[in-house]
Amino acid sequence: MKLINENGLRVDGRRPDELRKLRLEVGVLEKTDGSAYVELGGTRIYAGVIGPREAHPKHLELPDRAVINCRYHMASFSVDERKPLGMTRREVELSKVLREALETVVFLEEFPRMMIDIFVEVIQADGGTRTAGITAASLALADAGVPMADLISAVAVGKVEGTLVLDINELEDKYGEADMPVAMAPNLNSIVLLQLNGRMTADEISKGLEMAQTAIKQIHQTQVEALKRRYKVEPEGLET
Kindly state whether residue 125 participates in binding ligand UDP, applying the rule CB under 6 A.
yes
CB of 199 to ligand UDP, least distance (A): 15
Smallest separation (angstroms) from ligand UDP to the CB of 238: 44
Residue 24 pairs in a beta bridge with 38
Q: Find the binder of ligand UDP among 34, 52, 127, 158 (CB under 6 A).
A: 127
Query: From residue 90, how far is each of 32, 41, 83, 131, 151 by CA, in Å?
Result: 25, 22, 11, 14, 25
Per-residue burial over 130-166, b if 16 or more Cβ lie within 10 Å, else e, is bbbbbbbbbbbbbbbebebebbbbbbbbbbbeeebbb
Examine residue 41 and tell whether it contacts ligand UDP (CB under 6 A).
no
Residue from 10, 83, 159, 220 touching ligand UDP (CB under 6 A): that is 83
For the CB of residue 146, give the shortest distance to ligand UDP in the complex, in Å: 23
196 binds ligand UDP (CB under 6 A): no
Q: Is 208 in the site for ligand UDP (CB under 6 A)?
A: no
Q: Which of 19, 79, 87, 209 binds ligand UDP (CB under 6 A)?
A: 79
Q: Are 134 and 182 in contact (CB under 8 A)?
A: no
Instruction: Tell me the closest approach of the beta carbon of residue 231 to ligand UDP, in angstroms.
Output: 29
* Residue 129 binds ligand UDP (CB under 6 A): yes
Does position 128 interact with ligand UDP (CB under 6 A)? The reply is yes
Residue 35 touching ligand UDP (CB under 6 A): no
Q: In the bound complex, what is the minimum distance in angstroms from residue 18's beta carbon to ligand UDP?
A: 17
Give least dist CB 185 to ligand UDP, A.
Answer: 19
The answer to the question of residue 51 lying near ligand UDP (CB under 6 A) is no
Contact window for ligand UDP (CB under 6 A) among 24-32, 57-65, 95-103, 126-134 = 126-134
Residues that bind ligand UDP (CB under 6 A): 79-80, 83, 125-130, 156, 170, 173, 179, 181
